[in-house]
Amino acid sequence: MLRIDVPSDGPSNLTFNELQKYSIPAPELGFQAEVNDDVVMLFEDEQQAIDYAHDVDVYAGSIDHTSQEYMIISDMIKAISDDEFVQAYIQS
């Protein structure tokens, strides 16, 4: 299982409680809240994380690009692309 944290200090200041206000599609294994209310995305593997990033990017194209929801999705995609395991997978 691959766990990718979405930092709460990103542009969206995402917390798990904030995430639940939106209809952002969840990863196949879902979201999890950390003790400090940070958001963790759960995936089977790196390919599933990459596929999810693509899917939410497509979803983001249908919403207002100045909205909080769009900023949250951007932070989620950035967290996936910055993950060391995802980067190693892409390079292999």
pLDDT tens per residue across span 16-48: 999 999 999 999 999 999 888 889 999 999 999
64 band by pLDDT with thresholds 50, 70 and 90: very high
Q: Are 34 and 40 in contact (CB under 8 A)?
A: yes
pLDDT of residue 39: 96
What is the model's pTM? 0.93
pLDDT of residue 15: 94
Residue 83, domain extent: 2-91
pLDDT of residue 43: 98
Average pLDDT, stretch 58-84? 96
Tokens linked to 4: 């990718």
- What three-state secondary structure class fits 57? helix
Tell me the C-alpha distance between 10 and 36, whole Å: 15
pLDDT of residue 84: 97
Total of domains in the chain:
1
65 band by pLDDT with thresholds 50, 70 and 90: very high
